[in-house]
Amino acid sequence: MHKSIEALVARLPLDFRVLYRQFLLRVIDLEALSIQADVVGFLGQFAGVLIMLSIIHAFRIYLFLGVETWPIEQYLIATMMLVAGLIVVISWDATFPDRRDAMVLSPLPVAPHTILFAKIAASCAVLGLSILALNVFSGLVCPLLLGAQHGTTLGRIQSFAAYWFTMAAASAFLYCSVLTAQGLTALLLPRRLFLRLSAILQLAAFGLFLGVYFVQGTIATPAATADPANQRLLAWSPSFWFFALFNQLNGSLPPQFSWLASRAWAGLGTVAVGATLALILCYVRTMKKTVEEPDLVPGAGGSHWAPNLGPPLQTALVLFSFRSLTRSRQHRVLLAFYFSVVFAIALSLLRTVLSAPAPILLSPDFYIPTLMMMSFAVFGLRSVFSLPISLTANWVLRTTQLCSSERYVAATRRTLLFLGVAPVWLVAALLSLSFRPFHHVVAHLALLALYGWILSELGLIGFHKVPFTCSYLPGKSNIQLVFWGFLVVLLVVVMSIAEFEQRALHDPILFVSMSSAFAAMASGLWAFNRHQAKSAVIYFEEVPDITIQTLGLQRD
Amino acid sequence: MLELRHVTKRFSSIPAVDDVSFTARPGEVTGYLGPNGSGKSTTMKMITGLIEATLGHIFFEGKPIQDDLIAFKRRMGYVPEEPYLYNHLSAVEYLTMVAQLRDLPARQSSDCIEGMLQSLSLHDDRHASISGYSKGMRQKVLIAAALMHNPDLILLDEPFSGLDVGTALVLRSLIQELAARGKVVLFSSHELDTVERVCSHVVILHRGKVVADDSIERLRSLMELPTLEAIFSQLAVEQDTESMARQIADLIHA
């Protein structure tokens, strides 16, 4: 098997193989990884997270499939679409020719279609591996149990084929949708405008995928599916189309819902044609346009926004962080992941506020989401700090390092408070306007602010760095451990705080004790970090000088 | 006065800079020359404090720079060999950030940045992202960032790289003007014509070692050679350039 694959690969043209390998590594932007990172290891860890999720799904299917089939099927398809959507967003520009490709490959005797096929092959390889990792266990258990309901071997095989085809089709639908949208904007707009709009589209897609996943409900029974009140949701939500497609292929779809499966087929066909046309036209037209139109945007209409955010050093570093977060693709995407969770929680809270008659009684249903929002915002921001923006440009921060390390750590703290804690607190304050009693709302907001301060100080322990100048995640740490560890610890901590807060809000002495404990913990951590920073040396990671650059062509 | 005494830098026991000693005085431009890989940029980086010397000492105005690196950095301006900048910022944002990091008064730095951008013909593109700048435009940003705090020591590592003729002529005069105003200027370049016009004193480095340290006039008379190029070829160029060119031409015709 392995030999026949190797023989098949060897028959592919050499230029395709070389480009495919290059593009495969560039689907994940190498500049975003630590200089000590092992790319293969990183991809392995990422696959590990998905495999772990697959094991959890498999257990869930085993326990509940006999009781209720439809919600689990919907959940699996929606989760597959979410993961595929996140991968498509992370590898946003990977399929289209960029300026680097145009400048490097145009003078070489490489046909545009070879570049196109190599790029598609690289993106599909990453997407395919993700589908495989996410379904490696659930993709066996679910079809086997569903097939058992058919009672025949043929039924099992049919379920198995239906499951894997649906997962691949749902992922392909998202991939092709994004390609179509990108291709059309690239074709219709001037390159400079496209570059700006592409960044906004990327964030919008991220928010859309996560928002839809968290906000859209499930429709558990055939009766609920037939309910006229749900028809609008069914008609516009692709996860329900592919859910119907799965059941159609599995032979278990009631005839009255075949229109949903038809939508899946039609949608898939439309975006496949759209993506093919967009890609061909882009490679024919945009490669030339990319070289002809410089990325430099004339600055006649620009302006320089420079608010005073404290002492000059702190202002400089807060603005540097803000600009890095808003202008760098990798940073935006990673932050968008965390902030989309914040956004999704805020949306679901807003839905509660709008649907319930005012005033609403304050309860853990409000404490838990706001505490979760704060946690995701601060830890998300702190983890994005570890994604370098340009290691080679760090020299300027080193040659202008004229203040004590304590002041650099203070600037990082201010960045966390300004860009992480303050926005979430403001959103929570706005949402809390519908909740009563008012003094409980004020008390919760005070505790939330202290909680945000504590999280910021926790994030600063051992962080003697300027944001975006060093790398830790991803690449060096064990993502598998950090991801699951963070989720488990966070859930336990937030639930405990919410439970305690519920009692404290009805007992003034308990509330004073709780807020004093929070304030003491925050001040203690602040004093600890300040003390540590005094003797710390601000660390900057730099790319070592390369003596010999290998091209890695020895395999060919 | 900048003084290097027996400075050595080794990378994994291989010496990149080997026992280098020289002095750069205020009021004169010191040229720092050498072939690729001779250790010029490594020396510059050691003077800026970006890398530490394995052996030896660097003094500025008689004091070891490591004794108070922060005070030294306040008085130093540096244009690195490669124009690495934070590409997501605009020129005005980058220069404002550097001014803030140097704790310069806001009003003064804002006027200075505006004036620099005008003088260096970057004003029209001041709000554009540096990622779209040409190499010459990036070089201009680096020059502005290195000079706006009025440093006493100016380290220029290939400052003419990518500059258009007009800006190069302005920079050449500027270097002489700054030296005339009492600054210490250490200037590294491969453009020997420019070095000959601008510098009064040159240090030539070959394989990490200083092979000449004198005024250009004295080197000419001592070596009985007419130009700096001839002096440099004799001291630092090992191969026969014409036969090397023939060899390359033969290779591509093989």
- Beta-carbon separation of B103 and A402 below 8 A: yes
Full domain range(s) for residue A73: 16-292
Does A442 reside within a domain?
yes
Residues A260 and A335 placed together within one structural domain of the fold:
no
- Beta-carbon separation of A294 and B96 below 8 A: no
Residues A163 and A248 placed together within one structural domain of the fold:
yes
| Sequence-separated (6 or more) residues with CB below 8 Å from residue A246 | A73, A77, A162, A163, A166
- DSSP H helices in A28-152: 39-64, 70-90, 99-105, 112-135, 138-150
Residue A434: predicted pLDDT: 87
- Beta-carbon separation of A313 and B101 below 8 A: yes
- Cβ atoms B50, B13 nearer than 8 A: no
Number of domains chain A is built from: 2
Residues A321 and A393 placed together within one structural domain of the fold:
yes
Task: State the best of A295, A400, A406 to mutate against chain B, taking most chain B CBs within 10 Å.
Answer: A400
Residue A91: predicted pLDDT: 80
Packing angle of the helix pair B165-180, B135-147 (nearest 10 deg): 20
- Cβ atoms A184, A56 nearer than 8 A: no
Nearest chain B residue to A303 by CA: give it. B127
Among A299, A316, A396, beta carbon nearest to B90:
A299
Residues of chain A contacting B97 with CB distance shorter than 8 Å: 316, 319-320
Nearest chain B residue to A408 by CA: give it. B101
Among A296, A306, A324, beta carbon nearest to B128:
A296
Architecture of the structural domain at B27-36+82-253: 3-Layer(aba) Sandwich (3.40)
- Beta-carbon separation of A398 and B90 below 8 A: no
- Beta-carbon separation of A316 and B90 below 8 A: no
User: Residue A318 has which token pair?
Assistant: 């807060």
pLDDT string in tens for chain A (556-residue length): 567 767 777 778 888 888 888 787 776 555 455 545 566 667 777 788 889 889 988 888 888 766 677 888 888 999 999 999 988 887 877 888 777 777 778 777 788 888 888 888 988 988 999 999 999 999 988 888 876 666 678 888 888 999 999 999 999 999 999 999 988 888 888 777 887 788 788 878 888 888 788 777 777 677 888 888 888 888 888 999 999 999 999 888 888 889 999 999 999 999 999 999 988 888 877 666 666 655 444 444 566 777 888 899 999 999 999 999 988 877 887 788 788 788 888 877 887 777 778 788 888 989 999 999 999 999 999 988 988 888 889 999 999 999 999 999 999 999 999 999 999 999 999 999 989 899 999 999 999 999 999 999 999 999 999 999 887 645 556 666 777 788 889 999 999 999 999 999 999 999 999 999 999 999 999 999 999 999 998 888 765 554 444 444 444 4
Residue A65: predicted pLDDT: 65
pTM of the shown model: 0.81
- Beta-carbon separation of B103 and A324 below 8 A: no
- Beta-carbon separation of A392 and B84 below 8 A: yes
Does A551 reside within a domain?
no
Separation CA A330–CA A384 (nearest Å) = 9
Residues A85 and A113 placed together within one structural domain of the fold:
yes
Among A296, A300, A396, beta carbon nearest to B98:
A396
Packing angle of the helix pair A70-90, A112-135 (nearest 10 deg): 140
Q: How far is CA A491 from the centre of its chain?
A: 20
CA-based nearest distance A470→chain B, Å: 14
CA-based nearest distance A394→chain B, Å: 8
Q: Note whether ipTM > 0.90 here.
A: no
Does A102 reside within a domain?
yes
In our burial notation (b when 16+ CB lie closer than 10 A, e otherwise), range A314-325 reads: bbbbbbbbbbbb
Residues of chain B contacting A300 with CB distance shorter than 8 Å: 124
Among A300, A327, A399, beta carbon nearest to B73:
A399
Task: State the best of B127, B141, B143, B148 to mutate against chain A, taking most chain A CBs within 10 Å.
Answer: B127
Candidates B81, B63, B56; CA nearest to B155 is B81
User: Residue A1 has which token pair?
Assistant: 């098997």
Separation CA A36–CA B250 (nearest Å) = 42
Residues of chain B contacting A306 with CB distance shorter than 8 Å: 93, 96
Count of residues in chain B? 254
